[in-house]
Amino acid sequence: MPMDAPLERLRLAQPELPPRLREAARYLAEHAFDATTRSMRELAADAGASPASFTRLAQALGYSGWEPLRAALVEARRPAAPFSGRAQARDDLPAAMLAADAAALGRLEAGPVAAAAAALHGAPRIWCAGFRSCRAVAGLLHYQLRLFRPEARLVGAEGPEELDLEGFAARDAVVVASFAPYSAEAVRTAAAARRTGAMLVALVDSPLAPVACGAAHLLRFEADGPGFFHSLTGAVSLAQALAAAVFAQGGAAAMERLRQSEARLAELSRYASDEDSR
């Protein structure tokens, strides 16, 4: 049976389903990743359907109930050796990686960054989220924003990320960085942003990423490369460009906050002097 069998069954069966099951099927097709991480009751509530509809949908697809369908969805999305499967033994690997990153940087688009920055400028609070290797991307964005936007927050910086997800508000902006295989934490963070009505900015490798679902702004980078691990070069570049563009939107007020931050750093002697380096 092919790995995408549950979604293929869903696609084939959808035209023949009763109206209510068809709506549940459409929701499931659009939120297949959520189905692997959330309860059936949560899915049903978001879909505006009853839990029984999802049970009947599973049975209509040939499964004995919801849990077997959910298990099939989990298995279909399970990455097979996401890192070791990419490994290549080649003498020119460093040069190939640098060339691939340089080419990918040349394909980044400035327009979406400018549009996202304008939207972030209007948000009273900006949340930065990234997990596993993307923690570095979120941390960089958060650090740069904090220099002139002190209300910026890093999800999970001061405790379990679940506590921060509960703090999202409708006027907030949430920037989530992720690439395949997508972390469950990133998917939950994006879902929390959608649920609370916060503006979601997805910094991802594909517009089809579960993190990108419902995003107001999509900043896409290329994560593929010849290395055993995915490349974060594009993601870091987008994060830096986004922070700079938000700063430019802030005008004189942002410049004043930046100067105040510089003064605090100088007062705390955060940087080594010429004498210290001798």
Q: How far is CA 165 from CA 6, 37, 76, 180, in A?
A: 30, 16, 28, 22
Question: Which is more confident, 39 or 274?
Answer: 39
Strands (E), 62-187: 126-130, 153-154, 173-178
CB-based contact 72:63 (threshold 8 Å): yes
- Would you say the C-alpha torsion 119, 216, 196, 182 has a positive or negative sign? negative
Name the least confident of 74-88, 160-174, 205-219, 252-266. 74-88
Among 4-8, 73-77, 239-243, the range with the most confident prediction by mean pLDDT is 239-243
pLDDT at 264 > cutoff 80: yes
Domain 5-76 sits in CATH 1.10.10.10:
yes
Nearest alpha carbon to residue 177 among 158, 201, 160: 201
Return the pLDDT at 14: 85
Q: What is the spatial distance between Cα 62 and Cα 32, in angstroms, rounded to a whole number?
A: 17
Q: 100-267, superfamily in CATH?
A: Glucose-6-phosphate isomerase like protein; domain 1 (3.40.50.10490)
Give the number of other CB atoms < 10 A from CB of residue 31.
Answer: 19
The whole-angstrom separation of Cα 72 and Cα 3 is: 9
What local confidence, expressed as pLDDT, does residue 84 receive? 60
Given a contact cutoff of 8 angstroms between Cβ atoms, the answer to whether 219 and 116 are in contact is yes
Burial-class residue 181 by CB neighbours within 10 Å (0-12, 13-18, 19+): middle
Provide mean pLDDT across the span 49-67. Answer: 91
What integer best gives the mean pLDDT of the chain? 87
* 5-76 shares its CATH topology with 100-267: no
183 pLDDT band (50/70/90 cuts)? Answer: confident
- 88 or 43, greater pLDDT: 43
Q: Determine the pLDDT at residue 204.
A: 94
SS3 state at 128: strand
* One-letter amino acid for residue 195 of the chain: R
DSSP secondary-structure letter at 176? E
pLDDT for 30: 79
Task: Give the integer Cα–Cα distance in Å for 223 and 26.
Answer: 29
The pTM score is 0.70
DSSP notation for 99-127: HHHHHHHHT--HHHHHHHHHHHHT-S-EE
Inform me whether the pLDDT recorded for 230 exceeds 90: no
β-partners of residue 129 are 176
42: helix, coil or strand? helix
Q: Which of 1-10, 72-81, 190-199 has the highest mean pLDDT?
A: 190-199
User: Domain limits of the chain?
Assistant: 5-76, 100-267
Highest average pLDDT, of 26-35, 153-162, 233-242, comes from: 233-242
Who contacts 235 (Cβ-Cβ below 8 Å, separation ≥6)? Answer: 134, 137, 177, 179, 203, 221, 223
pLDDT in tens, 102-154: 998 999 999 999 999 999 999 999 999 999 899 999 999 999 999 999 999 99
pLDDT of residue 3: 40
Is residue 74's pLDDT more than 80? no
Which tops the pLDDT comparison, 268 or 62?
Answer: 62
pLDDT greater at residue 82 or residue 72: 72
Identify the pLDDT of residue 162: 82
**Predicted pLDDT of residue 207:** 86
